[in-house]
Amino acid sequence: MSLRTLLSRRPREPATIDVAHGDAVYQVRVQRHRQARRYTLRVHAATREVVLTMPPRGSTKEAEIFVNKHGGWIATRVNRLPLPAPFRHGAVVPLRGEPHRIEHRPNERGAVWVELGDDGRRFLCVTGDAPHVGRRVMDFLKHEAKRDLEAASRRAAGKLGVRIKRISIRDQSSRWGSCSTMGVLSYSWRLILAPPFVLDYLAAHEVAHLVEMNHSRAFWRVVAGLCPNVPRAKAWLDAHGADLHRYGLPRPGAA
């Protein structure tokens, strides 16, 4: 019997497994992978999701035993993650590396804008109904990210004499940017939360791939020629990059 036939005849399996540890219950998403040789667990920092990867011939019973055996590991990894920071009135969110407090102003005109207080504090002012504050802030940040990343990418491309086909903004969890062989650049909108020198570095990094589609020494020479702050930007991302993924996420258990 072929592996494909075996998998097609397998009874319906649970999409998730609940694991209790201490006073908490952690939901683990279950997925099979044809190339997996053993059971593995992973916690995605960006989404706080716990994922169990099963080998093709693994069983649900074995999966349940495995995840329950590692309940302490799951709890430790999840609890080490920064707490989610939803976009709502009173929350503080970084914009270009500077803290801004979200200020809901339902009776004013406009959508979202930046305002500097007399005491030097920065505000993200948001109009409209309270349930829409989070979406409006998200839309504003994505718009600002696209504007800054397009400008930084065009500057870098101009220095190299290369052409960018298109630039898109997404919420990528595994990497900050990507470059296709067709000249399409894609970036995480969360780069607008970081200081400008970090955003400039990521733009230089992806544009450099239009010349060197690799990470060779030649590639890094191109990046260094475009961006003088490579070591500083990489160090900042190593220290603070994971924290950027918590902004805009709802708190666990929130509706």
Structure confidence at residue 252 (pLDDT): 53
- Structure pTM? 0.77
Which residues 6+ apart lie within 8 Å of 148 measured at CB?
A: 96, 191, 192, 196, 199
pLDDT over 60 at 111, yes or no:
yes
Q: pLDDT, tens digit, for every residue of 66-88?
A: 999 999 999 998 888 878 899 99
Computed over every residue of the chain, the mean pLDDT equals 90
Across 220-243, b (16+ Cβ under 10 Å) vs e yields: eebbeebbebbeebeebbeeebeb
Per-domain boundaries in the chain: 3-80, 92-246
Structure confidence at residue 255 (pLDDT): 44
Q: pLDDT, tens digit, for every residue of 162-207?
A: 999 999 999 877 789 999 989 999 999 999 999 999 999 999 999 9
pLDDT over 70 at 141, yes or no:
yes
* Structure letter (DSSP) for residue 131: G
Distance of alpha carbon 37 from alpha carbon 119, whole angstroms: 59
Q: pLDDT, tens digit, for every residue of 29-47?
A: 999 988 889 999 998 876 7
Structure confidence at residue 27 (pLDDT): 92
Which residues 6+ apart lie within 8 Å of 214 measured at CB?
A: none
The answer to whether the beta carbons of residues 35 and 9 sit under 8 Å apart is no
- In this prediction, residues 228-255 reach a mean pLDDT of 84
| DSSP class per residue in 142-179 | HHHHHHHHHHHHHHHHHHHT----EEEEE--SS-SEEE
Q: How confident is the model at residue 28 (pLDDT cuts 50, 70, 90)?
A: very high
Q: Does CATH place domain 92-246 in 3.60.110.10?
A: no
Q: How confident is the model at residue 236 (pLDDT cuts 50, 70, 90)?
A: very high
Three-class SS of residue 105? coil
